[in-house]
Structures are given as structure tokens and as C-alpha cells.
Structure 1
């Protein structure tokens, strides 16, 4: 799959990708609500025999307008692209979003990007999509422009879960901040997954019999500190079960930075420098401070047993989960 990072003047779209069905949105999380939009675009593209593309924006607009409080990204750009590729899209266009772009008119967005650059035959987006300076472009504006300029527009209603609640990225962030990774997976349609380089820590785990693969998540990550049953995927695609601690290591560190430390079961290799992903299957307990390392090791053994038991009985919750975490 091709990922485009630059704008339409610096990076012309290849001819074989023009004239496609374009799904537009931020798609942070690629959750079940987003999937209702994305799957509709894939269906239309397949029926018409044209490419299926995603037009999204980097960085997240909320972070541009409020840089002091960057948004917790459920799926940073590389992870989002991997999910979209797994769904079947031929290309993801990560359009640079800044204040200059936000100041462009809705009409300019349609003319320069949708028509001149992408040659869109159909645009698929959520019912509440707004664009252009001051959010002047909305669904009615987009549909009117489509009729005038010869491209179709499909608007998809908000997706609601089995309890009739709208599935949203903010709702999922709230669940993750409570450690509710099982409930979050139900809204995502796959296990919540992070991706980062494995870095060296203090290597205390080795001396305790629990060497860990350490990853630094983004500072704004709102995942609740605690112990989780997880599955780690290496760069070569291989999967291994494990138990992970996310948090500040209060037993051994004072005022440490948050770190994800994964003990990979039945593995003795070196992962330093690899880009690995970790999928969360269950929250085992909160992060605790123990009276010494002996008590910590006793609890770590219990955590390992509980994680092994939990992971032994898991099964995919959908096609995307099968591709990401199995």
C-alpha cells in the first residue's frame, strides 16, 4: 500500500490511483464507527472497479490548534496505515494539516484536492464531516459541489453499538484511561494495539528472572497504569504471548517516566531496536508498590500465570482483529 505524505503540488497522484472512491476523515482508532464509513467506500470501489483510497490529515487537527495539550492518538499514523491496509485500501493520503491549510476555503479544498489532485469519482464520509475555513463546508455543501463537479457523495450515519450508544474515539480513550481494554476492543473491533521501538531500560527484570521488552509510549497516552495480558508481534510478523506492565514502576523507581514493559513468554532473544506491536487482551490488576523485590517477584509469578490462562482461551473478535492480533 502507498502512503502519501506531501501535498498535491509536490507529490502528484499516480494515474492508476486517480478516479477512485475516497474515504475522508481523521479515522483515529479506525474503530467500528470509522469502519462503517471505510467499508462503504471499499464496497463502492469494488463494485465499480476503481481504487479505494483514504484521505486523512497529519498531525491531528486538535493537536495543531491546541499544541499544549496534544490529543492521545489511539492509532498514530503508522498504526492507522497498517489497519487501513489490512482492511483493503490501496493508498492512504496523509495530508499535512497546519493553520495555513485550515485557512483554505471549502471550495478550494474541493477544487484543488478532490478534483484536480485526486480526480475523485465518489467521496464517502461521516454525516457530520466539516471542512474549510471556519468549518464552512458541511454535508450539504459537499453534496451540492458533487452535483456541480461530477463526483458522487455518500454520507454515512453515526454508528451505534449494541447498547445504541455512538461509537467514538473519545469514548474509547475514556475506557482505556480506566484500563477497560476488553470494552475498548468491543468498540474498536480489534484489540487495542500500540507500536514502538524496543529500547533498553535498567535491565532489572533480567536479574529478577523477568526480562522485558521496553517501549516508551507517547507522553499523552491515557492508558491506565497497570498489569495487562498482551500479545507481542515482532517485525518479522511472529507472535508471542506475554504480560505487560504499563506505568511508573513505584517499587523500583522514584518519579520515573511511564514505560510499557512486556515480559514475553518462552522467549530469550534480543529485541532491542525492533519496531514491535503489543495488543492488549485484558487488565489483570492496578500498578502497586511492593515492600521490596521479593514481594514483587511473587506477584509477577501470579501475573504470569493469570495472563497465560487468559490468553489460552482468546479468539478473534472480527476480521481486523484476526489480522492484527492473531
Structure 2
């Protein structure tokens, strides 16, 4: 995993770096192209390949500030999955910068001087061609290049990455695909199946009583994936992936607290997995979440879901 700094690294931990800046939600194919350039530039210049990202997402911060939470973007991935994807792209250092009133009101010049120059010792910077920063997004590429000439860092830009149809690969497109359960399109945009990882927690054990014990995982708030029933693969419980069926949602038949949970039933296997870190790969959306009149109707639906999942694996394999 990359080294995670939840604020600017202290002077003793500061390394001259090649940096890119963004939210990197999902770390999709467009992000991966950016990160490949950062890695190559860092290697050529003996710098630390680094990413600065923000928590919360700036759009979430301003949505909540305006009392319009519905305008906050959903989240493709939690921090653990984001860090794993950044590690797979060769990033060694991640700065998780808190996006708050101080940062929102910081001038573009101070953003460069305090964060990039003094805080991170940036020597090479890659941003998108439309990158804006500072109070009211007043900073642009021209200001960055001028500051780079004065402070000794290079500035490079990268055009958007597009898919086979010429459409921009973006986190918004991934969110749109996940919102309608289009896992094939999400996987094409991400360059891998959509996945959620987490530690298995104790639940109410209702699934065990119904004959379908589940692995329970907490889900990042405002998860971008559509609520419903999925065919999934489970990694982390053995040498090979395991076939499973999963429910992502609020469990309206048995709960009313509105909390989203991922429940995974591994097909034809029983095991003690509490506390283990697992990774769930989403393969196919079977149906939307429903509220059933009673537990008997719920059990019948689960039986059908398990049969449909087995049919999927019989055709596609693991």
C-alpha cells in the first residue's frame, strides 16, 4: 500500500515528488493513464510518485454547505479500495487533504506556495487540461506554469481519456453505469470488475436461520452501486475465488434503520470468516431490492437468487 498522509507530511518524511491532484474516485481507466505518466516521470527523475486527493469530495463539501445533500456525488469506492487501486498503479505516497473552509477559501497562489512548494516539495506536476484550484476555482494552468518557473517544478497536462465510442472516461460515467446496474460498462470504464472490500462483521444471523448464512460487510456511505441482488466472486477466504450471491441495500423486509449493508452468501460452502478482510467482485445484477410480506416469501426469493447465481457460474465459470 502507498504511504498515507492525512495531512501534509512532516519535514522528516518529505520527499521531492512527482504529483497529480484529483479525487480519483474509482481509479478508472482515465485515472490509470494519469497515474502511469506520474510513475514514469517519477522514475525518470528519482522522485516519489504521489497523489493528492481530498476528503470530503469538494462537491460534497459545497452541497452540504448549501444544505443540498442530494447534490453530493455518490462514492464509487471507499478509502481502502482507492488505496489498493493507487498501489496497483505504482503510487508510493498519498496525501489525503481535508477539504474544509480553510482550503475552500485559500487563494490559488497560497494553494501553490503552501501545499505544493512548501508542503510537498513538488518537482513535477501532472493535471488535467481543465484543472482549477484555489478560492472560487480562480487558479488555472497558466498560473501553475508561472509558479513552476519560479519555484522549480515542471507542469504537464493530459487530455481526457476516451472509450471505444469516443466518450470521456470519468467517475461520473462509472457512477451512471453502477446506478443502473450495468456492471459490464462499469468494468470497461474501471478496467476491472467493480468491487467492494471490507472486514466481515457480525450481523443479526438471520441468514443462518433461513438456511443462507452471509458474510456481512459495511459499505461506504452513499455507495454508487444500485441496491439489489448480485452475482459476485469472493476473494480472501482461500486460495481461489469463491462463487456467491450478494444483497446490497437496506434490507427493507427485516430492518428500518436505512443503513446500507452488503450481505454475501457463499454458494455451497460454510466457513468462519468473522474479522477477515475480503474483496467482493460484482459480476451481474440479478434484480432490485424488494420488501417482502414475510420471511417465507423472502426465503423463496433467496432460493431463486441462489439458483440464478449457480446458473451464471455454470455458463461463465469463476
Q: TM-score surpassing 0.5?
A: yes
**Residue 312 to residue 35, structure 1, CA distance change in 2 (3 Å):** farther
1: CA distance between counterparts of 2:104 and 2:12? 22
Q: CA deviation at 1:176?
A: 1.2
C-alpha contact 2:76 2:225 (8 A) present in aligned 1: no
Q: Equivalents in 2 of 1:77, 1:204: separation in Å?
A: 29
- Given that residues 13 and 118 in structure 1 are in contact (C-alpha distance below 8 angstroms), is that contact kept between their aligned partners in structure 2? no
Q: Is the 8 A contact 1:25 1:129 kept in 2?
A: no
Task: Measure how far apart 1:53 and its partner are.
Answer: 0.9
User: Map of 1:1-326 to 2, 5 A cutoff?
Assistant: 1-7=2-8, 11-12=10-11, 14-15=13-14, 18-67=15-64, 68=67, 69=69, 70-234=72-236, 239-253=241-255, 257-290=259-292, 292-311=294-313
C-alpha distance 161-256 of structure 1, shift in aligned 2 (>3 A): same
Which runs of 5 or more structure 1 residues have no equivalent in the other structure? 316-325
Q: How many residues align?
A: 312
Contact 2:231 2:309 in 1 (8 A): yes
Deviates more, 1:276-285 or 1:298-307: 298-307
| CA displacement at 1:269 relative to structure 2 | 2.2
1: CA distance, partners of 2:53 / 2:257 = 37
2:181 counterpart SS class: coil
Structure 1 residue 196, shift from structure 2 partner: 3.3
Deviation at 1:124, TM superposition (A): 0.8
Contact 2:75 2:221 in 1 (8 A): no
Q: Counterpart of 1:320?
A: none
**Normalization by structure 2: what TM-score?**
0.87
> 5+ unaligned residues in a row in structure 2: which ranges?
none
- Cα RMSD for the two superposed structures: 2.6
* TM-score using structure 1 length: 0.85
SS in 1 for 2:30: helix
Residue 209 and residue 155 in structure 1: after superposition, are their counterparts in 2 closer, same or farther (change >3 A)? same
